[in-house]
Amino acid sequence: MLDVPPPSSISRRRLIGGSAAAAAAGLFGGALAGSSAAAQAAGDGYGLRIVDRNENGGRLQYYRFATDAIEWDPGVNVLLPDGYHSSGKRYPVLYLLHGGNADFRTFHLQDNIVGLTAGREVIVVMPDASTGWYCNPVTSLVGPRNWETFHIAQLLPWVDANFRTFAEYNGRAVAGFSMGGFGALKYAAKYYGHFCSVSSHSGPASLRRDFGLVVHWANATSAALDLGGGTVYGVPFWDEARVNADNPVQRIPSFQNKRIFLAAGTSPDPINWFDTVNETQVLAGQREFRGALARAGIPHEWREVPGGHFFRHDLFVQDLNGMLGRLRRAG
């Protein structure tokens, strides 16, 4: 649920307002140029103002936005398919959500997302989320941290306006790791018409089990790492309506007619309490969620494999194959 530190020692705040030259140096992957032709420049809109960018003739594009939804300027990587700049095609979009204590660069710098998606006709959007649990928090002591608003109300329509996408239910998938896996399940349920496929890789699927352990974890980690002591769901008393709305196991009918993929590890490191607590809770919650889906007659795919709390590249490739089978094909 809470993941490895960001892949660079450069702090998020030092990156705010950073230059395109820094992006080209490799922090954001913007230097992955495949041709000399520049992409058509993206514009502002939907509450987002671009304050930094690295657009190029390659696959990985970087943007940083000023937005009233977030007090600092969040970043986004947009990974384009091979041939995007010359094909004229429209493409489906995967929103890929990072885990806690990470940022929008994690899938590029740590997980070789460029290589894992090579030759696939899909746009991959990887936004910042800090350790905000893909929520608009009950309280923040450091200014706005409305990640749900940023992702759903602002970024999603901005992507459709600036890239050749299918702006429709069958044109979008959402997936994530750990905290991002929870965010994917939450967004797919709360915003039913936005995503036809949802995938959770080692992501919590049950907020209330074990006396609300995941809610307590979300409150504690968001307070420490995103909200300056504020919390996502409220303390000492939760905002029960928000927990109900966000809890995947309480939203089972909202997963009808979607492709669903779940993955969890069965043998976390017994010496590493962090790994054990995370993946033990993930596995139990996913089993509870799968049981609820089965009772409702909702088809789903799942994998239980050895190991603990980490992003499994081989399972992501399997998942990606399934996504592309469900999404509208590029054309």
Catalytic (active site) residue 178? yes
Q: Pick the catalytic residue: 130, 202, 309, 319?
A: 309
Question: Tokens at residue 27, please?
Answer: 């922090």
Q: Pick the catalytic residue: 140, 178, 197, 222?
A: 178
CA distance 269 to 277: 10
Catalytic (active site) residue 111? no
Q: Pick the catalytic residue: 52, 103, 275, 319?
A: 275
Catalytic (active site) residue 309? yes
What strands, in cross-sheet order, belong to the sheet with 301-305? 49-54, 60-66, 75-79, 123-127, 93-97, 172-177, 197-201, 259-265, 301-305
Buried b (16+ CB within 10 A) or exposed e, 146-160: bbbbbbbebbbebbb
- For residues 92 and 328, the answer to whether their CB atoms sit within 8 Å is yes
Q: How far is CA 202 from the centre of its chain?
A: 13
Question: Tokens at residue 73, please?
Answer: 């300027």
CA distance 186 to 180: 10
Closest CA to 44 of 64, 24, 18: 64
Phi first, then psi, for residue 127 (nearest 5°) are -95, 160
CA distance 282 to 210: 12
Q: Which residues are catalytic?
A: 178, 275, 309
